[in-house]
Chains A and B, each alone.
Chain A
């Protein structure tokens, strides 16, 4: 079974630009979560989608948004980029049921904002 894939793997953007990251979950998984990983803050939850609906949202500004498509693929968008948005963005997929919520992570997209 193929794992979670994320594209692109690396991105360099300038302040003020916007960026879209993509995530394809493991086949059969309907839940996709996004995390931001930085050396100082560790792994911070951004949001989670299940069957095209956002079920949970972390404490990030409205510049961070996401969506999920009918095939469970998900995209994350960051508008008006700031230097502090430089991070590794991780996507994780899961079957999505709350009693057994085991997440599998992709390799991440390394975003550098200059």
Chain B
């Protein structure tokens, strides 16, 4: 079975600082990868996804993530955070084309951006 590890439980940054949230997964085969965001009081929204092709994927609101297959990693980045990025971020993985329909999430990283 697959698993996902998010290294940081809570990250605190000042506005305009750069962001990198770590995500590592455990699975021996091909995977589809996702980052979801949950703003305070709102539901989970898809931030970006990787299915195949270019390992550097761009999502909404200036976020991007890089898939490094050799490191089983899918880290989320943003060059300059804003106060409105305060939210909880979840990395998720699902085996690709393997007949598994179970999305496995990491425990989440809470991001607080100080104005």
A43 in contact with B101 (CB, 8 Å) = no
Q: How far is the CB of A74 from chain B (nearest CB, A)?
A: 14
Q: In the complex, what residue of chain A is closest to B107 when comparing beta carbons?
A: A42
Restricting to B92-115, which residues have a CB under 8 Å from any CB of A?
94, 96-108
Restricting to A95-109, which residues have a CB under 8 Å from any CB of B?
96, 98-108
A33 in contact with B43 (CB, 8 Å) = no
Q: A98-B98, A108-B43 are in contact. Are A42 and B106 (CB under 8 A)?
A: yes
Question: Is B27 part of the contact surface with A, judged by Cβ < 8 Å?
Answer: no
Question: Is B44 part of the contact surface with A, judged by Cβ < 8 Å?
Answer: yes
Question: Is B32 part of the contact surface with A, judged by Cβ < 8 Å?
Answer: yes
A56 in contact with B96 (CB, 8 Å) = no
A43 in contact with B105 (CB, 8 Å) = yes
Q: Report how far A76 CA is from B105 CA in the complex, Å.
A: 20
Q: Chain A 43-61, CB within 8 Å of chain B: the 1/0 string? A: 1010010100001101000
B105 in contact with A56 (CB, 8 Å) = no
Q: A33-B103, A100-B51 are in contact. Are A43 and B90 (CB under 8 A)?
A: yes
Note all chain B residues with C-beta closer than 8 A to A58: 102
Note all chain B residues with C-beta closer than 8 A to A103: 46, 103
Q: A43-B90, A90-B44, A106-B43 are in contact. Are A101 and B107 (CB under 8 A)?
A: no
B46 in contact with A98 (CB, 8 Å) = no
**Chain A CB within 10 A, most for which of B34, B42, B49, B105:** B105
Of A55, A98, A102, A105, which one neighbours B97 at CB under 8 angstroms? A98
Q: Report how far A55 CA is from B98 CA in the complex, Å.
A: 12
Q: Report how far A23 CA is from B42 CA in the complex, Å.
A: 17
Chain A residues at the B interface, C-beta cutoff of 8 Å: 31, 33, 35, 41-43, 45, 48, 50, 55-56, 58, 90, 92, 96, 98-108
Closest 4 pairs between A and B when the two form their complex, measured CB to CB: A105-B44, A43-B105, A42-B107, A107-B43
User: What are 5 sample pairs from A and B whose C-beta atoms fall under 8 A apart?
Assistant: A33-B101, A55-B101, A98-B97, A98-B101, A101-B32
